[in-house]
Amino acid sequence: MLEGELIGALGLLSSESGFFKDEHLEIVQEVANQLVIAIQQARLNEQIRRHSCDLEERVKQRTAQLEAANKELEAFAYSVSHDLRSPLRAIDGFSRIIVEDYADRLDEEGNRLLNVVRDNAQKMDKLITDLLSLSRVSRNEMNLTNIDMSGMAGSVYRELASPEVKDRFNIDIGPMPEGYADPVLMKQVWSNLISNAMKYTLPRDEPFISMGGYREDGKNVYYVKDTGVGFDPKYEHKLFGLFQRLHTEKEFEGTGVGLAILQRIVHRHGGSVWAKGAVNEGATFYFSLPVREVSDNDGK
């Protein structure tokens, strides 16, 4: 019997009456008990297998629904940003024409207000550019290849540094492990980190930026360290969120998108990002990348 249900019967037959003694019956009872346990076990296993199949199927369905919703949202954000651009450029272009051709017919306040309109249109254009590059990070295919990370960091720095930065800043670019990543996206990572380091260090005396890398716990780690204004470590978790800024627009211009792009790129590569800093004591931004697994066919 299994939970009140009869699932089978064991019988003993003999031509001699009284052949089976109590001990024989006890043995048969014990065998029957063991059989019940085995059948119960097999039924439970079957139930568990069915439940886990169900669960797997449901997880698959939910993941597909989520992926579709995400893609739709990305496409929506992309086209909205794209479509916002032309009216915005018209506002900027026409207000520029007024500033250039009609300035003498406006008083000082009129000119000031027009410039405010242009400034804001340009800020919004920058924001749209940043949002478009954020959505491009996940839209485009990745082409993974070996990258000389130290060389890339150096060339990005030379491209971005203004003459003032080149003049005043001390720069140190140390050795770094070779990266295995998408070169276009990696260039964007370096560009976001280096332009931030320059921006948030510019007001300081003796500005210094150092970059380097090392291998740790089976990952390649890269960093950009500066002697800039730093940040309150209490809010470190906010740094990489979209539109999150720890400094005001008055102190430093920005959109709060750069580090969100950086995080998305690094996550897409299977790595992670983090930062250390203190107010007025500089900041260090780190990102890691998985080490390339070399297969037996490599180099043959």
Residue 273, beta-bridge partner list: 287
Q: In terms of CB distance, is 95 or 209 closer to ligand ADP?
A: 209
Q: In terms of CB distance, is 254 or 271 closer to ligand ADP?
A: 254
Which residues ranging from 134 to 173 are in contact with ligand ADP (CB under 6 A)?
A: none
Q: In terms of CB distance, is 180 or 212 closer to ligand ADP?
A: 212
Strands (E) in the chain, as ranges, are: 145-147, 170-173, 179-181, 208-216, 219-226, 273-277, 283-290
Q: Which runs of consecutive H residues, i.e. helices, occur in 103-226?
A: 108-139, 149-160, 163-168, 183-201
- Identify the residue among 177, 179, 207, 258 touching ligand ADP (CB under 6 A): 258
CA neighbor of 121 nearest in space, from 149, 155, 96, 156: 96
- Identify the residue among 177, 207, 230, 271 touching ligand ADP (CB under 6 A): 230
What x/- string results for residues 235 through 254 when contact with ligand ADP is judged by CB under 6 A?
----x-----xxx------x
Q: How many CB atoms lie within 10 A of CB 151?
A: 12
CB of 199 to ligand ADP, least distance (A): 6
What x/- string results for residues 178 through 217 when contact with ligand ADP is judged by CB under 6 A?
--------------x---xx--x-----------------
Find the distance separating the first CA and the last CA of the chain, reported in whole Å: 66
Distances, alpha carbon 18 to alpha carbons 79, 136, 231, in Å: 91, 88, 93
Contacts with ligand ADP by CB under 6 A lie at 192, 196-197, 200, 226, 228-231, 239, 245-247, 254-260, 277, 283
